[in-house]
Copies of this chain bind each other. A is one copy, B any other.
Amino acid sequence: MFAGGADGGNGHLPRPRRARRGGGGGGGMGSPPLGPPPPPCTDYDMAYFKAYSHIGVHEEMLKDHVRTNTYRNAIMHHQDLISGKVVLDVGCGTGVLSIFCAFAGAARVYAVDASDIALQAMEIVRENELSDKVIVLHGRIEDVEIEEKVDVIISEWMGYMLLYESMLGSVIFARDKWLKPGGLILPSHASLYLAPITNSHRYQDSVYFWQDVYGIKMSSMMPLAKQCAFMEPSVETISGENVLTWPSVVAQVDCYTIQAPELETITATFNYTSMLQAPLHGFAFWFDVEFNGPVRQRSKKQANQCLDGNTQDASPSNKKKKADAPIVLSTAPEDAPTHWQQTLLYLFEPIELKKDQNIEGSVTISQSQQHARFLNICLKYFTRDQWYVKESVMK
């Protein structure tokens, strides 16, 4: 009976925010870094897989042209490493990436999804007369048997703010079990960013609105309005104009070397200097992923350094223009919007920032002990002689 509002006729199944379209199992942040035994498949997993068989989710992802075109471009960019090779698509959904790989000349593609969408993927593969090349496996990556090691792993595993319900654990599992040494992983690297933002419009719309409603004073609603609007992280689209500084890097993931336990708790420090005078309304997370070849991979040591207390600012020069990032899928506010949008942490009270005012602090993202899929986010920041703490749960 409860429905998430009008949904344009896409029915009433619960819709996962992102990720775990079925390729994953007990994957994500809590999955075992190495091979069997696989984690048990819970009712929760089953509900997820079912939800992802719901067509609307796939429609939304396919219609995200930034996402789908960037993957296609990346596949064509690495055609020399895909043509004639064996590919594994982790969480294949409708099979779009698998078919792109077949178009790029892959000898065989194993397309794995635990959701019932795999049954549709089989039909789509047949319709495109690729049944001899693309083998759809309906099951969890932890459970399926593949007859050979693979040269390439491709997966669109990213969740909101990169890590929320991400399928990265399943990719790690697949890599460790099925990828040949020196194989290609697409995407190869991922970065999570954080920046302070201003958004007076949002604050006006959600909070100050209550000051005068058709001539009626409703200021007494404001505390509740703030709670409802700003207690939890909010997935919404902002623009580059909302961002007050260059972002800091919260995490850098090297898909060739990352181990699942490294993702359980991530802490990063930041030190921002506001580029303008404006009210600070909160902080925004976004991410990008890069599609680098295996030759260009960074060392494990470098990746670990990035994950542990990284204070490096991501100015455009080191964020996008480096020579080893030919293809980037960005979900940044200044780039074209994607279905991932940005993830906002709003403050209950804005802070008036002056130009060049310093904001320093740290952010810790950790897997909830109560619920493995929830992310606890603890943001501590210091500005003009005062410390603030914003704790929230992404659920």
Contact = CB atoms under 8 A, between A and B. Distances in A.
Contacts of A96: 213-214, 216
A214 B103 CA distance: 12
Contacts of A15: 2-5
A12 interface: yes
Interface size range of chain A in the complex:
35 or more
Nearest to A228: B55
Interface in A36-53: 44, 47, 51
Contacts of A218: 94, 124, 127
A265 B190 CA distance: 57
A68 interface: yes
Contacts of A14: 2-4
Given A1-B373, A4-B4, A124-B216, A395 B221 contact: no
Given A9-B346, A228-B10, A371 B127 contact: no
Nearest to A98: B216
Nearest to A55: B228
A333 B63 CA distance: 27
A213 B61 CA distance: 12
Contact of A54 (B12, B213, B214, B228): B228
A127 B220 CA distance: 7
Nearest to A44: B1
Secondary structure type dominating chain A contacts? mixed
Interface in A199-242: 202, 206, 209, 213-221, 224-225, 228-232, 234-236
Nearest to A237: B6
B221 A55 contact: yes
Contacts of A127: 217-220
Copies per assembly: 2
A382 to B, nearest CB: 25
A197 interface: no
Contact of A216 (B8, B128, B216): B128
A341 B9 contact: no
Interface string A333-370: 00000000100101000000000000000000000000
Given A220-B120, A221-B94, A225-B55, A9 B214 contact: no
Interface string A1-33: 111111111111011110000000000000000
Most interface-central of A69, A99, A216, A395 (chain B CB within 10 A): A216
A123 B44 CA distance: 41
A293 to B, nearest CB: 23
11 contacts: A3-B14, A3-B17, A7-B234, A9-B228, A9-B230, A12-B232, A55-B228, A69-B214, A72-B214, A94-B221, A96-B214
Closest 10 A-B residue pairs measured CB to CB?
A4-B4, A9-B234, A2-B14, A6-B235, A123-B220, A55-B228, A9-B229, A127-B217, A127-B220, A99-B216
Given A2-B14, A3-B16, 16 more contacts: A1-B395, A2-B16, A3-B395, A6-B17, A6-B341, A9-B202, A9-B236, A11-B232, A54-B228, A62-B214, A68-B214, A72-B214, A94-B213, A94-B221, A100-B214, A124-B216
